[in-house]
A and B are shown apart, each in its own frame.
Chain A
Amino acid sequence: MQDKPLLSIRGLKKSFDTQDALRGLDLDVYKGEFLTLLGPSGCGKTTTLRIIAGLETPTEGKVYLEGVDITSFAPEKREVNTVFQNYALFPHMNVEKNIAYGLRMRRLDRKTIKQKVKEMLHLVQLEGYEKRMPSQLSGGQRQRVAIARSAVLEPKILLLDEPLGALDLQLRRQMQGELKRMQKQLGITFIYITHDQEEALNMSDRIALMRDGRFVQLASPYELYENPVSAFAASFIGETNLIEGTVSEINGDELLLDIGGKTVRAKNKDWVQEGQKLCLCIRAERLRYRRQDPGHNCLHGKLVATHYTGSDRTSILELSTGQTVISRHTTEQEEKVNQGETVCVWWDIDKATVVIDDREQAL
């Protein structure tokens, strides 16, 4: 990462009639990175993208590209291109003409245009498809044309709005790899939108998790997974258990949590206060259970059900507090426990985090 960001957003707000879509966003995007805007439907990711592209104007706030304020620039004046969710290929033009469109608008000469289109078709592996019409292409092929059409203009930033949403699972997995490859090859900065957290974790250098028009956490996939900043962030990525508890004592690096009468130890965080209600976040694969009491960090629970999926087993347990937790473990590691039996649910202190409980409302 460099010192100067390629794109900066400051204080971005957008309201539609009665609805506040964006409530104040600040973001820096660096050259060459793959940044993903991740979040549930309606969180404002598409609106943000459209503002960067120039297809919407913000109610408040500024957008800077390489230090220049482009907030009021028309879309055709920005060196930023978009790959639309439904591809938006021009139905009355063939593949060649679609890809050439932007170059035509720049008034490049025919020879150059032909050359660049050829190179792009090679990059997206669609050589020979020049004269095909969009209606004759499959979903995956259309998608590649859409990317080619935008990428051929060598924009400073390529914006992609859930480009893989319409594809089936296998194709999606394949395209994820393709996109990553293309991004590295072209060296273009990608800002990517998806609501699929697996996709985000897989492809991104950094993820900006959004909710209700605000950024919740901006971090690398690893950081987001290991150290989620809140219960919402924790539950959005991966399978997580959020066990409610109250802070009973703080001892330097550690704290004591009261969970339904039982006391467990956890790692302290600087914002924690005594008496505070919070959630203990434990990933499903880090939660274990066994018959014998390990002596530390144990909660009693009853095995409700288990699902066998070949390599894994997912177990659902009901704690004595009434809360349900999930444990995922390989079949190799298991201890044969029967349904209905009471067991000890335990975990490694280092593998759990305390988080603010913001599940009901965005803070």
Chain B
Amino acid sequence: MKKNTPLSKLYITFTMLLLYLPILVVVLFSFNANTGRTASMSFTGFSTYWYKDLLSPVTGFGTQLKSSLEVALWSVFIAGVLAILGAIGMVRRKVGKSLASKITYKAIGAGEQLAMLPMMIPELIMGISLMALFRLFKLPFGKTTLILSHITFCVPYILVTVKSRLITLDPSLVEAARDLGASPFKAIITVTLPLVAPAILSGSLLAFAMSMDDFVISFFVSGAETTTLPLKIYSSVKVGVTPKVNAMCTVMLGFAFLMVGGGQLVSAYAERRKELS
């Protein structure tokens, strides 16, 4: 297999540069010493002025960060439970001979397809549909509707990662556990879950990031009182305020890189474990 030519290396570098250009700009301007009206546009020097009071409740993004975290943690947790149970139930399932069996099989299959749908259709549609649904049931828009919506789009991400790991799991391991005296429940707890743990973790990390960064769906289902971080950033960017937004963005970027790095470590660890099963 031929290695990369200098030309292709240039291509990669150039494309990567373009990819990071706007990010670098945002980060750069967060350190803008310019505290005047043109702070968002003309760069005068370096300073950490805009990082002050970043997390304070009133002038900073403190409340929004708190809201985003709350929503994300609840959503990932509940979505995780739903998705893990779903994955375990779906992988290598069999259908019986009776009519009741066949109907159940098809119904649960449809349930899975529906659960995966949020990942495959534009978020806009999900957002508006959820909003309409909540309206119908007269649910007040706020933290609850946010969490309910976030759970809905987090499930597919966790489901897919856990499923793909479960499929590669040797089925004879659970059979051996049953053979040795474990009830189906005990077998899942002592054998399946420990071996699937890395996938659960990476799926959860992914879902967490999706939730923290979600804009479109949150846009439609949040209320006046609850604003998440991305929503606040959106309104700030639209109006065109101070580089404080840049500072918040830079911090968020930092966390995102930490999480991606963390995700890499987890999957590297999982690869080593995978060789054994």
Contact = CB atoms under 8 A, between A and B. Distances in A.
A–B touch (CB < 8 A): the answer is yes
A88 B172 CA distance: 6
A225 interface: no
Interface string B161-204: 00000000010110111111111001000110011000000000
Nearest to A53: B179
B276 A82 contact: no
B191 A81 contact: no
B225 interface: no
B98 interface: no
Given A55-B178, A92-B195, A86 B172 contact: yes
Interface string A68-95: 0000001110000110111010111000
B175 A55 contact: yes
> Which of B173, B181, B191, B194 gathers most chain A CB within 10 Å?
B181
A84 B195 contact: no
A305 to B, nearest CB: 45
Nearest to B194: A92
Contacts of A91: 173, 195, 273, 276-277
Contacts of A8: none
A182 interface: no
Contacts of A75: 175, 178-179
Interface stretch (A100-108, A168-176, A273-281): A100-108
B275 A76 contact: no
B180 A102 contact: yes
B170 A88 contact: yes
A75 B181 CA distance: 7
Nearest to B97: A59
B180 A81 contact: yes
Contacts of B172: 84-86, 88
Chain B contact patch, size range: 20 to 34
Contacts of A86: 170, 172
Nearest to A86: B172
Given A90-B191, A105-B186, A135-B275, A153 B176 contact: no
B97 to A, nearest CB: 9
A101 B177 contact: yes
A134 interface: yes
Contact of B179 (A76, A92, A134): A76
Contact of A153 (B175, B181, B186, B195): B181
Given A88-B170, A91-B195, A92-B195, A149 B273 contact: no
A253 B182 CA distance: 59
B178 A150 contact: no
Contact of B176 (A82, A106, A135): A82
A105 B182 CA distance: 6
B262 to A, nearest CB: 21
A133 interface: yes
B277 A84 contact: no
Contacts of A81: 179-180
Contacts of A101: 177, 180, 182, 190
> Which of A76, A82, A84, A102 gathers most chain B CB within 10 Å?
A76
> Which of B172, B180, B186, B190 gathers most chain A CB within 10 Å?
B180
A87 to B, nearest CB: 9
Nearest to A97: B190
B181 A76 contact: yes
A84 B180 contact: no
Given A84-B172, A90-B173, A101-B177, A76 B183 contact: yes
Given A55-B175, A134-B276, A106 B195 contact: no
Contact of A74 (B176, B178, B195, B277): B178
A106 B175 contact: no
Interface in A111-163: 133-135, 149-150, 153
Contacts of B177: 90, 101
B182 A133 contact: no
Interface in B257-277: 273, 275-277
Contacts of B179: 53-55, 75-76, 81-82, 150
Contact of A106 (B181, B191, B275): B181
A105 B177 CA distance: 9
A102 B170 CA distance: 19
Nearest to B195: A92
A135 B275 CA distance: 8
Contacts of A54: 178-179
A133 B273 CA distance: 11
B106 to A, nearest CB: 17
Given A133-B276, A135-B276, A88 B176 contact: yes
Q: Give 3 closest A-B pairs by Cβ, nearest first.
A: A91-B276, A102-B180, A105-B181
Interface of A: 53-55, 74-76, 81-82, 84-86, 88, 90-92, 101-102, 105-106, 133-135, 149-150, 153
12 contacts: A54-B179, A76-B178, A76-B183, A82-B179, A85-B172, A88-B175, A91-B195, A91-B277, A101-B190, A102-B180, A133-B276, A149-B180
Given A76-B182, A84-B172, 11 more contacts: A75-B178, A81-B180, A82-B175, A84-B176, A88-B172, A90-B191, A91-B276, A92-B273, A101-B177, A105-B180, A105-B181
